[in-house]
Amino acid sequence: MVDCILLGATLPGMTLGALLAREGWKVLLLERKRVAGGRAAPWKRDGYFSMPGIPRVRYGEKGPFYRICEQLGLKPLLVPLNQAWVLDTDQKVRRITIGRPGILRADFFSRWDGFFALRLLRTLKGETLEDMEEESLEEWFVRNTIRGSLQNYLKVLAYESTHCTAPEKISAGETLRCFQKAFRLRSYLAYPREGWIPILEHLEQEIVKNGEIRWQTRVERIEVEEGRVVGVRVAGETVKAPHVVCAMPCQQLVDLLPRGATTQEFVNVCGKAVPSTALIVDLALKNRIFHKKGLWFFMDPPSYGTFLSNLCHRHAPAGKQLATFVCPCSPEEVRQPELVRALEKKIEENLRRAIPRGEMAVEWKRSHVVRMLESIAIQSDQTRKDRLGYRVPNVDGLFLVGDSTCAPGASMEMEYESVLECFERMVTERNA
């Protein structure tokens, strides 16, 4: 018998498992694939290497992921991504900064919009943002007469942080909270200098010090008796444990629970949860066409990306480059093959326009639709209060972690905030 079974070697599942093992819990992690990472599982091709969706560290050394790393004795070197470039709708490239050194140190804003943005930062109060979570960004623009470059600036911020491109659905509160926090902490995004593989290896080592990871293991059912979890069913046998943590999307959790084990309200929330979706385009380049570190934003179609091999040398062979772009789409859009192909073509064309002095020679291109970037999309009609808590109702000992939960923050932040919150609750309950 183990102390805790974790379902899914996702990034949140791995980090929580490592924290629990370091705390002295005997941990068993079950993963149906051969590798860690979940939806961000690594891939390799012809000497190129990456993980889908540009997994990034929000707020750098001041964010929740780095706080977890410090608890585990792991302090990865990070490459800051505060600098960015935008290919605007007029086909001109403009530079922006998010976080350090400040919004006026760029050519994206008009002078008036720059000073307006500074005034906005001074007047935004954390408590007022809670009331704006259900207000759309478009409604907030109209109510506050936001125009010009400041409106576009907040849009590109929202595309990356919420994976939503429809201003009428983007949450104004979540966008402004990210805007405010980036400048308060003077850090926006970062990327591990040595990539994610050393981090995943460290997490795995922490888990196996006081536990086990079983790869290619599919869970058949979560076992519940008299309102309490007692383990999971694997290959026809029950593995006993007083605690089980689901680190997979909530849409998959319901199918593992016995009928009637939890409330119908919980089942309904899981069933109605709308995930965020996207087209991801990886371009393997035969030559280096851009040497700076930072993000790129395209306004048409709304998308963001970076030259990953500039951030970590492991992503491409010597002398070559790997560029990755994420184009958030609606669930309806990704079901239209012709539209997806048009978006893919437009992203490659945008990259050629953005860096005209570099002759871009594409070795190969990898495009694929991701039908679940976050298991519950961050939108004004699907806010934190609409998401699930960290416990499954009516089932003692069954916890949730990841982007299905009501953890605060934006994409690549709420996952790790949920880890910290879930870890604290589990330890407190056990010690009570």
Give me the CATH number covering residue 338.
Answer: 3.90.660.50
| Range of lowest pLDDT (146-150, 216-220, 272-276, 389-393) | 146-150
Please check whether residue 39 lies inside any domain of the structure. Answer: yes
What is the four-CA torsion angle of 424, 388, 394, 12, rounded to 10 degrees? -40
* Domain co-membership, 364 together with 340: yes
Residue 126 confidence (pLDDT): 58
Q: How many domains does the chain have?
A: 3
Which of 141, 164, 185 finishes a domain?
Answer: 185
pLDDT tens for residues 245-299? 999 999 999 999 999 999 999 999 999 999 999 999 999 999 999 999 999 999 9
Please tell me whether residues 306 and 260 are part of one structural domain: no
DSSP label of 371:
S
Same domain, 206 and 281: no
**Predicted local confidence at residue 104, as pLDDT:** 63
Do 298 and 356 have their domain in common? yes
Output phi, psi for 403, to 5 deg. Answer: -85, 10
Q: Which tokens in the block code for residue 359?
A: 């002759």
Q: Is the pLDDT confidence value at 189 over 70?
A: yes
Q: Which residues contact 249 (CB under 8 A, 6 or more apart)?
A: 275, 372, 375, 402, 403, 404
* Higher per-residue confidence, 121 vs 68: 68
Examine the domain organization and report whether 239 and 288 are in the same domain: no
Residue type at 354 in one-letter notation: A
Same domain, 230 and 113: no
Residues 116 and 176 in one domain: yes
Contacts 24+ apart (CB under 8 A), 341-345: 343/279, 343/301, 344/279, 344/281
**Does residue 164 lie within any of the structural domains?**
yes
Where among 185, 204, 225 does a domain terminate?
185
Does one domain contain both 134 and 61? no
In this structure, the answer to whether residues 114 and 175 fall within a common structural domain is yes
Q: Is the pLDDT of residue 164 over 80?
A: yes
Judge whether 84 lies within some domain: no
Q: Supply the pLDDT for residue 125.
A: 65
Q: Which of 157, 185, 213 is the C-terminal boundary of a domain?
A: 185
190 in a structural domain: no
Considering the domain boundaries, does residue 91 fall inside one? no
Residues 422/401, Cβ–Cβ less than 8 Å: yes
Pair 269, 384 in one domain = yes
Asked if residue 50 is part of any domain, the answer here is no
pLDDT for the residue 131: 84
Residue 173's domain comprises: 101-185
Question: For residue 101, what pLDDT is reported?
Answer: 74
Q: Does 107 map to a domain?
A: yes
Residue 51 in any domain: the answer is no
pLDDT digits (tens, 9 = 90+) for 112-160: 777 888 788 778 765 578 889 999 999 999 998 888 888 999 999 999 9
